[in-house]
Amino acid sequence: MTADRHRHNKRALASLRQAQYDFEPAQVQAALRSAFLPGATVRLAHPFEDLDGADGLFHRVYRPLYAALPDLERRDLIVIAGPSATGADWVGCCGHYSGTFVQPWLDIPPTGHVVMMRFHEYYLMQDGRVAEMQALWDIPELMWQARAWPMAPALGRQWHAPGPATQDGLVDGPRDEAASQASLRLVQDMLAGLSRYASGGVTAMELERFWHPRCNWYGPAGIGSNRGIAGFRHWHQIPFLAAMPDRQGSGGKGEIFADGAYVAVTGWPNMRATISGDGWMGIAAAGQPITLRSLDFWRCERGLIRENWVLVDLLHVYRQIGVDVLARMREFNKARHWVVGQGPSTP
């Protein structure tokens, strides 16, 4: 086996990605069955959770989403592949599902306009087929676009996260092993620095050593995006660490891999914490223990991290403390009606 297998793994998913771009249900179902091993593990964001392989993913998720967005298409911004420290081979994809939102989905009221929903999808590959899928979709991003927001306002800038500034996220090959290893070391050293906060505070994290002064951090709807180290600290890190000072990795469940300038980390979950301190995202601090599912992509540039795409399963976070965000959204929007061909109205 050589590094070319990672290029092969990316290309093994090309037919599925193309089928989801030119979305026709029969072709997508066939592509899923071809790409996934029988009995493959499929893990998706709340409220879907674990699904029954390729057919469960198609019937429970893609078919209803297609009914809501009948011109549905997939747009990939990042496609990378590489091995983890355990020897597992992964492919990571970041992009958006887009289409005209004409029927409710998960009871999110339709807008009649084009919408976009970011996805981070990681595929564990065995012999050129998917053995496991871990995926976070920014479902709250659709709530925001539908003006059906049921959570606290985001501290960061809430918007549609862009693709890489360098426009080179669709990494084909041949694989650059030296660049991949350099990017991997940079992100691993940065993560090790973050773990020193509990003992040494902000100084011990050495943020300026790892992050570009003009870095962009693209968080999910509910947290938002920010620019520069100061923006990262003000609108994400300070509230996060103040709320969960005991946060730590979740038993080595996350696997990190790199491809050229890009690095990705899996995790289902990849962090444990207790909501204490000042609370987080409007959640009152009551000592609630939670786990966090986070799937991240980083882009490195001249020895520093320039961009970071982050999705967190916020619906799952709220669910763990007894708040059903989807039910709360329904309460907020139960007076809204949708007349096909005329748009939303209220009686």
The edge-to-edge listing of strands for the beta sheet with 288-292 is 248-249, 271-275, 288-292
Q: Which two tokens stand for residue 324?
A: 């059903």
The residue count for the chain:
347
* Total-model pTM: 0.93
Rounded distance between C-alpha atoms, residue 60 and residue 48, angstroms: 8
Amino acid making up residue 102: V
Tens of pLDDT, residue by residue over 44-90, are 999 999 999 999 999 999 999 999 999 999 999 999 999 999 999 99
Three-state SS string over the chain comes to CCCHHHHHHHHHCHHHHHHHHCCCHHHHHHHHHHHEEEEEEEEECCCCEEEEHHHHHHHHHHHHHHHHCCCCEEEEEEEEEEECCCCCEEEEEEEEEEEECCCCECCECCCCCEEEEEEEEEEEEECCEEEEEEEEECHHHHHHHCCCCCCCCCCCECCCCCCCCCCCCECCCCCCHHHHHHHHHHHHHHHHHHCCHHHHHHHHHCHHHHEEEEEEEECCCCCCEEEHHHHHHHHHHHHHHHHCCCCEECCCCCCEEEECCEEEECCCCCEEEEECCCCECCECCCCEEEEECEEEEEEEECCEEEEEEEEECHHHHHHHCCCCHHHHHHHHHCCCEEECCCEEECC
Total Cβ atoms within 10 A of residue 337:
13
- Domains contained in the chain, CATH given: 4-171 (3.10.450.50), 177-332 (3.10.450.50)
Of 163, 181, 15, nearest in space to 78 by CA: 163
Residues 137, 118 contacting (CB under 8 angstroms): yes
Give, in degrees to the nearest 5, the angle at Cα 271 between 248 and 44.
Answer: 175
Confidence at residue 347, expressed as pLDDT on a 0 to 100 scale: 43
Question: What are the pLDDT tens digits along the chain (347 aa)?
Answer: 455 899 999 999 999 999 999 999 999 999 999 999 999 999 999 999 999 999 999 999 999 999 999 999 999 999 999 999 999 999 999 999 999 999 999 999 999 999 999 999 999 999 999 999 999 999 999 999 999 999 999 999 999 999 999 999 999 989 999 999 999 999 999 998 877 765 667 776 789 999 999 999 999 999 999 999 999 999 998 888 888 888 777 555 679 999 999 999 998 898 888 888 777 887 777 888 889 999 999 999 999 999 999 999 999 999 998 899 999 999 988 887 665 445 555 44
Confidence at residue 1, expressed as pLDDT on a 0 to 100 scale: 45
